[in-house]
Amino acid sequence: MSTDPRGPHAWDRLWAPHRKEYLADEAGNFDADSCPFCIAQGVSDSEGLVVVRRSATFVVMNKYPYNSGHLLVCTNRHVPLYDELTPEEVIQIGELTAQAMRTLRTVANAAGFNIGLNQGNVAGAGVADHIHQHIVPRWAGDINFMPIVGGTKVLPELIEQTRLLLSESWSD
């Protein structure tokens, strides 16, 4: 019998077996030759899903977005941790984050944002060896029945279309 004041379902579990591979020791460990962020720098913006480039950083679409417009601000350098960044990289990450927020408000009418860094495999970093900050736009009611009932996320636009729209609308 549950004594939790929130009721008998307070400790229900959500199972995500597809995430198991990220728990292995080697998960998220990429060298500069296999890192998706390093690879994105060596191809065209459209092929790499790059929105904008700066001297030390760049913005790229997340290939596995939580919401439409989910962006990643990455360093050009293959470096894992925030405390290993140069002052220029720190400044550019901050500037690009603010610019991404302004652009997503203008282009997609984002009402809020989840912004964060996952540092290391144990913190949930899918690409642990190349720092990247997530910028996830949010809207009132953006979580609907599909993820809960259907185990499916509905994104209203192809990532490539979102990238093009954001890139064309980006302003400093």
pLDDT-derived band at 37, boundaries 50, 70, 90: very high
Supply the pLDDT for residue 157: 74
The beta-strand segments (E) located in 85-131 are: 112-117
Q: Is 132 a catalytic residue?
A: yes
Residue 74: its H or E element: strand 71-75
Name the least confident of 59-63, 109-113, 146-150: 146-150
Residue whose tokens read 């549950």: 2
Supply the pLDDT for residue 25: 43
For the chain, what are the domain ranges? 20-166
Please tell me which residue, 95 or 28, carries the higher pLDDT value.
95
Residue 59 near residue 51 (C-beta atoms within 8 A): yes
pTM of the model: 0.78
Supply the pLDDT for residue 22: 44
Residue 51 near residue 162 (C-beta atoms within 8 A): no
- What is the rounded (10 degree) CA torsion for 172, 39, 93, 61? 60
Supply the pLDDT for residue 122: 86
CATH match of 20-166 with 1.20.1260.10: no
Which residues face 57 on adjacent strands? 75
pLDDT in tens, 68-103: 899 999 999 999 999 999 999 999 999 999 999 999
pLDDT in tens, 116-142: 999 988 888 889 999 999 999 998 877
User: Mean pLDDT, the chain, as a whole number?
Assistant: 83
Distances (CA, A) of 160 to 61, 86, 110, 157: 8, 31, 19, 8
